[in-house]
Amino acid sequence: MKIHALPAFTDNIIWGLESAGELVVVDPGQAEPVLQFLADQSLGLSGILITHHHADHTGGISDLLNQFPSRTVGPLPVFGPGYCKSLGVTHEVTDGSEVWLFNHSLRLETMACPGHTVDHIAFFAHPSGQAPLLFCGDTLFAGGCGRLLGGTASQLFQSLGRFAALPDDTRVFCAHEYTLSNLLFAAQALPENAAIRNRLIQVKDQRAQGLSTLPSTIGLEKKTNPFLLSVAEANLAEFAARRTAKDNFRP
Strand partners of residue 24: 17, 47
251 pLDDT band (50/70/90 cuts)?
confident
Mean pLDDT of 178-198: 98
Q: What Å distances lie between residue 208 and 176, 201, 212, 213, CA to CA?
A: 17, 11, 10, 11
CA dist 23 and 25 (Å) reads 6
Query: Which residues does 77 contact at the CB level (< 8 Å), separation at least 6?
Result: 47, 48, 90, 91
- 181 backbone dihedrals φ, ψ, rounded to 5°: -60, -40
**Domain residue ranges of the chain, discontinuous segments joined by +:** 2-176
Q: Which CATH superfamily is domain 2-176 in?
A: Ribonuclease Z/Hydroxyacylglutathione hydrolase-like (3.60.15.10)
Q: Which are the catalytic amino acids?
A: 52, 54, 56-57, 116, 138, 176
pTM over 0.75, yes/no: yes
Q: What percent of the chain has pLDDT over 70?
A: 98
Q: Taking 70 as the threshold, does the pLDDT of residue 42 lie above it?
A: yes
pLDDT in tens, 54-102: 999 999 999 999 988 666 556 899 999 999 999 999 999 999 999 999 9
